[in-house]
Chain A
Amino acid sequence: MTELLKLTEVSVYAGDVCLLEPISLTLAQGRPITILGQTGAGKSLLAQAVMGLLPDSLRVEGDIQIFGRAMTLAERQKLWGTELVMLPQEPWNALDPLMKASSQISDVYRYVHNKDRSEASTLAQKDLEYVGLADSGNKRPDELSGGMAQRLAIASVTAAGAPLILADEPTKGLDSTRRQDIVNLLQERSAQGSLLTITHDVAIARQLGGDILVIKSGRLIEQGEAEKVLNQPQHPYTQALINAELPPQSKTETSESDKDVLIDIRDLMIERGGKNLFPPVSFSVKQGEITWLIGESGRGKSSLGDALLGLVPTKSGTVTRVVPATQQATPQNSQSYRWLKLYQDPPSAFTDSVSLQVLLNDLVTLHNIDPSRIPPLMTKLGLKEALLTRNCNNVSGGELQRFAILRALLLNPVFLFADEPTSRLDPITAQEVMALLRYVAKETNCAILLVSHDVNVVGGNYDQVVVL
């Protein structure tokens, strides 16, 4: 078995701060390696170090050998395409926005393999059919969905025929059906050479097999055979990672509880760009309960939530807000600011021009909320006092989402639309946020509409499921 890649004590430093502690591994032909771990744990730094794509401010230590020969950065860069390739995280901005799909692939044949124009386009068309994009040759990246863009990226990067493929979070942000195709495609393409994959998705690691390395905040904590690591995880962190995974959910189950109905939806339809997003849907959202809304990406889940908040016009059907009998119809609870929303990408939901403390004070002065309610909520949500002095850019996604929940709680929410609140977070923090949503629904009797793909994150935390 020829050694394609051999890393000995490779580590990455920013100045004198160590971002990735020394790691050694050998990637042999036909035996893939998967690196598991939290987002931001420094995993992708390793791949970038091997490729020679690290930003100038970072420094690599240790020895990187490719095909048995230690190579400098420049030499490695010469191998790009023909010997060594990396699949980027975000497929959309890895493809030239102005170039048609077919020419993104035919370029490789024309300029790397020096084929003539017609031969290159036939080869490209063959590749497109192979990855199931036969008829979208003339489309531009912005006209493709996430899955299609990822498959195009894989096809174009492997067209040069490099044996050694590095894949950095190849399935990020894709729903489960799409992930399956991507993994199969990667396995085929790396059949002659070998594959080093970086992901936080345990299911992918299980399917790929080979060896697994688990990294926690920049340090290698476990290494070994795929089956051994997945079935008998030694390190508690690896165990937490694995059992966060649960079987997928598929059919609508309505809750029979006797809670009061908050919103009653009758054959609602929403139109976008001239076509109806989903067939007429009817369900009711009950107080203090979590309604889990699932469906393919792009089926209009977010639009539905926004419609309930009155942010998006509806095409047909009715949305009636039922004033709960238990609380008298005070003007206070029917006011719009008690119908709130949590966002998918936490930093984009805040302005970075001021500190979180200022944002909080604004809210307090606007609705003259009693400031003494804040400290207990802060401790409940696990938010440290020092956090408030910083602005939203230098605070982690998890903390920001919890801060958003704090702001919502201060307004005694009646209804909360959580639009994929955990998709950008790693499994552990996602679990915490999910638990907090559970708490919000139960303690404040607030109805929550949850949109999420992370089956294993949501787990059992729901009272009814609606499938679009």
Chain B
Amino acid sequence: MKDILLKRLLQLLAVVWGVGTLTFILMRALPGDMAYRIAASRYGHDNVDAQAATLVREELGLDANPFLLYINWLFDLLQFKLGDSLVSGTPVIDSVQHMLGYSVLLAVTGLFISILIAIPLGLLSAWKGNPIDNAVMAFSSVVRAMPVFVIGVIFLMLFALHWNWFPVAGFGTPAHLVLPALTLALSLAAVSNRVVKSSAQRVFKSSFYTFAQVKGLSKWRTFHRHGIRNIALPVVAFFGIQLISMIEGIVMIESLFSWPGIGHGLAHAIFARDIPVIQGAALIMGVLFVLLNTLIDLLCYWIDPRAGDVKGERA
């Protein structure tokens, strides 16, 4: 247990430094005059001109030598100061927290609903076998092959326009969250239900499972006592991995449902060369990633205390 936490702490430091430096270098390498880009975002894209650019350049002192900028950026970092957004002037912490808060809310709800979809589907196709298994497999492959916004549009047409149950876009009330989260959940569940199925099949076929029934336990009791915990192990690890690959889907969903998340915000920040926001966002997402993965590791450790790299192997 302790070494998991220690390893993750080390990783946290490496990630904070690595992400920061990487974004810093990459941002420096971007072509295009930064002053102009920031002016464009500040004063509206039709209203930017040389005068605005010079104003921005003086105000932000963009011509200082990059190494100096990097040093005092690192120095600020140590005091947890992320600086202010070049475009809106608000502290990076607030704008990222606002955007990230909504994205995390969407991600967590989406993941949670995807768990509610994937586990029954996976277990059902493992338990009932082929007619259902193939149907679920075909369904998952089709959903995985489609860009997320197509699923989003289908839900919108159905639930928002046809039956008018949920609002089409925007945020504010829980009703706004339903359709975006459902779209994200479906795209995640299409992948994770296959993992649940293969893990469940492995456990159902394993000899300790039949041996438990030979001991006299009923089918349901065997599943309850032996099935859930053994199936959960690879599934929980997979959900941890999915947290990372979720960002592409989130960007599309946020843009389609006008959800004020980080995905869209980050894209704008990169176009507008708003370096502090990008670094702040990438940093906080990196830290969040490490924390979530630590949580997943602890969960896995709690399920299967046999630490060690190779899970499931006899020691």
Distance A85 CA – B314 CA, assembled complex (angstroms): 25
Task: Give min CB distance, A314 to chain B, whole Å.
Answer: 23
Chain B residue at minimum C-beta to C-beta distance from A108: B215
Neighbour of A157 across the interface among B215, B221, B304, CB < 8 A: B215
Task: Give min CB distance, A328 to chain B, whole Å.
Answer: 47
Say yes or no: is A467 at the interface (Cβ < 8 Å to chain B): no
* B230–A111 CB distance below 8 A: no
What size tier do the contact residues of chain B reach?
20 to 34
Distance A288 CA – B305 CA, assembled complex (angstroms): 48
Task: Give min CB distance, B223 to chain A, whole Å.
Answer: 12
Residues of A within 8 A of B31 (CB): none
Known: A81-B214, A81-B217. Is A97-B207 also a contact (CB below 8 A)?
A: no
Residues of A within 8 A of B230 (CB): 96-98
Residues of A within 8 A of B226 (CB): 96, 99
- The interface on chain A, measured as residues whose beta carbon lies within 8 A of the other chain's beta carbons, has a size of 31
* A111–B218 CB distance below 8 A: yes
Neighbour of B312 across the interface among A86, A97, A107, A111, CB < 8 A: A97
Distance A338 CA – B306 CA, assembled complex (angstroms): 39
Chain A residue at minimum C-beta to C-beta distance from B315: A142
Distance A94 CA – B210 CA, assembled complex (angstroms): 8
A-B contacts counted at CB < 8 A amount to 81
* B306–A142 CB distance below 8 A: yes
Distance A332 CA – B229 CA, assembled complex (angstroms): 56
* B314–A157 CB distance below 8 A: no
* A108–B216 CB distance below 8 A: yes
Say yes or no: is A82 at the interface (Cβ < 8 Å to chain B): yes
Residues of B within 8 A of A111 (CB): 216-218, 221, 225
Q: Which of B153-204 contact A (CB under 8 A)?
A: none
Say yes or no: is B267 at the interface (Cβ < 8 Å to chain A): no
Task: Give min CB distance, A159 to chain B, whole Å.
Answer: 7
Neighbour of B210 across the interface among A53, A99, A153, A156, CB < 8 A: A53
Residues of B within 8 A of A142 (CB): 306, 314-315
Distance A157 CA – B208 CA, assembled complex (angstroms): 12
Say yes or no: is A93 at the interface (Cβ < 8 Å to chain B): yes
| Additional pairs, 12, CB under 8 Å, beyond known A51-B214, A94-B208, A97-B208 | A53-B214, A85-B214, A85-B215, A85-B216, A93-B206, A93-B208, A95-B211, A97-B314, A99-B229, A112-B216, A156-B215, A157-B215
A and B contact pairs by CB, cutoff 8 A, 17 listed: A77-B213, A80-B213, A80-B214, A81-B216, A86-B214, A88-B207, A88-B214, A94-B207, A95-B211, A97-B304, A98-B233, A98-B303, A99-B229, A111-B216, A112-B217, A157-B215, A160-B215
Give the top 3 A-B pairs by smallest Cβ distance, nearest first: A81-B216, A160-B216, A112-B216
